[in-house]
Amino acid sequence: MSGTSDRITLAVGNTIAEMAKVADFVDQFCAAHGIDKTVSNDLNLCLDELLNNTISYGYEDQNRHSIAVSLARGDDMVVVEIEDDGRPFDPRGPIAAVPAGTLQSRRIGGLGRHFVKTLVDEMDYVRRGRFNVVKIKKRLPP
């Protein structure tokens, strides 16, 4: 973990087991900055989805890769930035309609990015060299 009290960064490996570190990182950051637990929960749900997709589908090899997760608090929002060296993928792209039918009859997948878009106030993406950079912003309750 590195950074100042305003912005800190955690580097994790590209394995599902590393995601628990990210959840603890978010919880500790939010607690230290007096950020409501509902915001922390929303951010963790979004990060779980985004990181899971990167780890599961973003790499063409089995090598170890580093994913950087940065958190910053502004006056009225929390900004999260994820940087990875996986294959290019813009999570803002179109998502399939929410599947109809019963839970048992639905195909697995397709809801995660919908949840992310619903839970955050802004999402941005840029490809910087060989890195994906996703930035999400969550407004703080008054």
Q: Which residues, in sequence order, are CB contacts of 59 under 8 Å at separation 6+?
A: 14, 65, 86, 87
pLDDT at site 142? 87
Helix axes 37-57 and 19-32, enclosed angle (nearest 10)? 160
Give yes or no for a contact between 72 and 78, defined as CB atoms under 8 angstroms apart. yes
What pLDDT score does 92 carry? 87
Domain count, the chain: 1
Pick from 65, 131, 114: which is nearest to 123 by CA? Answer: 114
For residue 7, give both structure tokens.
């912005």
Segments forming the whole domain that contains residue 85? 2-139
Q: What is the spatial distance between Cα 87 and Cα 127, in angstroms, rounded to a whole number?
A: 10
Q: What is the CATH number of the domain that holds 101?
A: 3.30.565.10
pLDDT given for residue 115 in this prediction: 79
| Single-letter residue type at 59 | Y
The per-residue pLDDT for range 8-36, each reduced to its tens digit, is: 999 999 999 999 999 999 999 999 999 99
Q: Which residues of the chain have pLDDT under 70?
A: 1-5, 95-111
Q: Which long-range contacts link 120-129 to residues 24+ away (Cβ below 8 Å)?
A: 120/42, 120/46, 121/77, 123/91, 123/92, 124/92, 125/90, 125/91, 125/92, 127/88, 127/90, 128/83
d(C-alpha 25, C-alpha 99), whole Å: 33
